[in-house]
Amino acid sequence: MTAYVARRLLQLLPVLLFVSAIVFFVFRVIPGDAAVARLGESADPESVARLRRVMGLDRPVYVQYLLWLGHAVRADLGESQINRQGVFSLVIEKFPATLELAVIGIGLSMLISVPVGVFSALRRGSWPDHVTRLGAMIGFCVPRYWLAVLLILFFAVHWRVLPPAGYVSLSESLVANLRFATLPALSVALTLAAVQMRFLRSSLLEIIAQDYIRTAHAKGLAHRVVVLHHALKNALIPFITVAGLEFGNLLGGLVVVEQIFSWPGVGWLMVQSIIHRDYAVVQGAVLLIATGFVTINLLVDVAYAALDPRIRYA
């Protein structure tokens, strides 16, 4: 296991290096001179040249990349052009809000998908199975942002039971925080649950067809016991992996949800920074989101290997 983790960690390095290179060079494409942009069009050529030297813009591109990378690994990603705050702390500050929404959303989605998925597999071919599968197909195709708008329409505009948008931090008030989190988390949970439920149902059905399940039946165990104790345990391993991958994907998937509900997470910050052309923040946010994404996927792989020894030796 230790060797496996070490190998995976080593594989992470070139990926992160590649990610940083993409992030650096994508933002080099921006038209115009960064020094001119900072000083303004009317700046005299001499001070532009001086700033270019200070910023390292007169050096070859690969040197600039290495310099930037050197700063980046020391958590120095430059500063926001709007409020001069350090980009790293600006982005990290927003992570807890995004993380909270992702955790609540995933947790809620599992509370829905596991019982529904098991029920649907147990009653394969019955009409409740067909209804839940149709529901899952619709849930799979509903754009999350549309679902969010529908939730606002019903819960905030019509029934006025929940706020349409906004945020109160956890430390301020737990109750208020959860009230604001309910609709965004629901819009995440319902769409994720659709995918999870279909996945769990099909892997359960696949496992139920296997020999050891037949053996369990032959021993005279009740169908329910066989499914819940023998089949579900094995079906949950890939299911947890999928949920873990979804968790990583939410780093991107939450962008629109955060925007709709004015939820001040990393995605929200990124959209605001793009609108205000605050490129340093956008670049830093992309780098940190990608790093988080790659790291979460690695953790999921390791967890998968820990749960299922077959993976380690594959």
Partner 1 sequence: MKALLALIRDRAALAGALLFGVVLASAILAPRLAPYDPLAVRVSERLQLPSAQHPFGTDEIGRDVLSRIIFGARSSLGVGVIAVGIAATLGTALGLLAGYYGGFPGTMIMRGVDGLLAFPAIILAMALIATLGPSLVNAAIAIGIVFIPSFARLAQASALSLKEREYVEAARASGATDGYVLARVLLPNHLSPLLVQISVSFANAILTEAALSFLGLGVLPPTPSWGGMLDTGRKYLDQTPWYSVASGGAIMVAVLGLNLLGDGLRDVLDPRLRGQRSAGDAVLRAGELTARS
- Residue number, 153 or 228, with CB nearest to partner 1: 153
78 touches partner 1 by CB under 8 A:
no
List, as one string, the DSSP characters of 89-136. Answer: HHHHHHHHHHHHHHHHHHHHHHHHHHHHHHHHHHTTTSHHHHHHHHHH
- Residue number, 22 or 131, with CB nearest to partner 1: 22
Q: Which of residues 6-65 bind partner 1 (CB under 8 A)?
A: 14-16, 18-19, 22-23, 26-27, 29-30
Count of residues near partner 1 by CB under 8 A: 56
189 touches partner 1 by CB under 8 A:
no
- Residue number, 106 or 216, with CB nearest to partner 1: 106
DSSP bridge partners of 86: 79
State in angstroms the smallest separation of the CB of 83 from partner 1. Answer: 19
- Residue number, 30 or 103, with CB nearest to partner 1: 30
Contact indicator for 133, 216 with CB cutoff of 8 Å: no
Neighbours of 270 (CB within 10 A): 23
- Residue number, 122 or 253, with CB nearest to partner 1: 253
Site string for partner 1, 97-136 (x = CB under 8 A): ---------------------------------------x
* Encoded tokens for 183: 């609709």
Question: Positive or negative CA dihedral for 307, 109, 100, 243?
Answer: positive
4 touches partner 1 by CB under 8 A:
no
Buried/exposed code over 159-179 (b: 16+ C-beta within 10 A; e: otherwise): eeebbbeebbeeeeeeeebee
Q: Which amino acid is at 305?
A: A
Contact indicator for 179, 167 with CB cutoff of 8 Å: no
Residue ranges that bind partner 1, judged by CB under 8 A: 14-16, 18-19, 22-23, 26-27, 29-30, 136-138, 140-146, 149-150, 152-153, 157, 164, 194-195, 198-199, 202, 242, 245-246, 248-249, 251-253, 255-256, 259-260, 270-271, 274-275, 279, 282-283, 286, 289-290, 293-294
